[in-house]
């Protein structure tokens, strides 16, 4: 099977290099922000790489031939990092800094905060190309950056866990409940952002 092909595994290893580079660049960006403003807007980050088996299964589900070229062209989230921020304004501040960084090439941006997915999912997604320096060349690997608040991350994690236990066709009643809880989280984010701004204003005046 192609999954067991050594050449295929060797090519896939480049994604590991890209994940390490992405995590390092994000860490630098966050530390630089904290140094400049005396405030760390990020609660935590988590990077990951899809297993080769998972990526191949995704190609199979989409009826693509199992080739490395199809992995590059059709699977855009093999490398990923999640950045969880405290407040809505922090999400957009970090997103702006990433998009302004010279360390990445921006491929695509999706603001699922302003326009949530039908499921209720909210997050800010940026797809970037990460340069990896190999022995004889520099190559660019695509990665997906997800930026979200604590509330968004909480809903997403619970939604995933609940849907995982359900059949493919989720009952309308459950779907509606999950969407409503997503709206609750969105309202919570707005209220916490308002409190955050009040505190900043209070500090500025005193």
The domain 2-157 is classified under which CATH number: 3.30.460.10, 3.40.50.300, 3.30.499.10, 3.10.129.10? Answer: 3.30.460.10
Half-sphere exposure of 78 (CA within 13 A, CB side): 28
Judged against a pLDDT cut of 90, whether residue 85 lies above it is answered with: yes
Return the closest-CA partner of residue 189 out of 105, 87, 112: 87
pLDDT at site 68: 81
Q: What is the pLDDT of residues 129-180, one digit of tens each?
A: 999 988 888 889 999 999 999 999 999 999 888 877 666 677 888 889 999 9
- pLDDT top residue among 145 and 10: 145
Judged against a pLDDT cut of 60, whether residue 205 lies above it is answered with: yes
Judged against a pLDDT cut of 60, whether residue 2 lies above it is answered with: no
Judged against a pLDDT cut of 60, whether residue 32 lies above it is answered with: yes
Judged against a pLDDT cut of 60, whether residue 3 lies above it is answered with: no
Q: What is the pLDDT of residues 87-120, one digit of tens each?
A: 999 999 999 999 999 999 999 999 999 999 998 9
pLDDT at site 5: 66
Name the percent of the chain lying above pLDDT 70.
95
pLDDT at site 203: 85
Q: What is the pTM of this model?
A: 0.90
What's the rounded Cα separation, in Å, for the pair 78 and 56? 11
- pLDDT top residue among 1 and 15: 15
Domain range annotation of the chain: 2-157
pLDDT at site 95: 97
What's the rounded Cα separation, in Å, for the pair 86 and 3? 40
């Amino acid at each position: 099977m192609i999954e067991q092909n050594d050449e295929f595994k060797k090519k896939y290893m480049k994604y590991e290099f890209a994940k390490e580079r992405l995590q390092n660049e994000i860490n630098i960006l966050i530390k630089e922000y904290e140094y400049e403003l005396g405030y760390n807007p990020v609660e935590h980050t988590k990077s990951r790489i899809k297993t080769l088996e998972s990526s191949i299964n995704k190609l199979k589900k989409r009826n693509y031939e199992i080739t490395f070229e199809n992995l590059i062209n059709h699977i855009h989230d093999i490398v990923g990092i999640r950045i969880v921020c405290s407040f809505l304004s922090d999400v957009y501040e970090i997103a702006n800094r990433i998009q302004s960084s010279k360390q990445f090439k921006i491929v695509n941006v999706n603001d699922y905060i302003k326009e949530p997915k039908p499921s209720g999912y909210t997050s800010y997604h940026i797809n970037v190309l990460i340069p990896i320096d190999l022995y004889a060349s520099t190559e660019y690997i695509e990665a997906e950056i997800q930026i979200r608040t604590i509330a968004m991350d909480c809903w997403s994690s619970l939604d995933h866990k609940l849907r995982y236990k359900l059949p493919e066709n989720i009952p309308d009643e459950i779907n509606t409940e999950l969407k409503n809880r997503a709206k609750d989280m969105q309202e919570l984010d707005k209220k916490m952002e308002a409190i955050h701004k009040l505190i900043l204003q209070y500090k500025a005046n005193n």
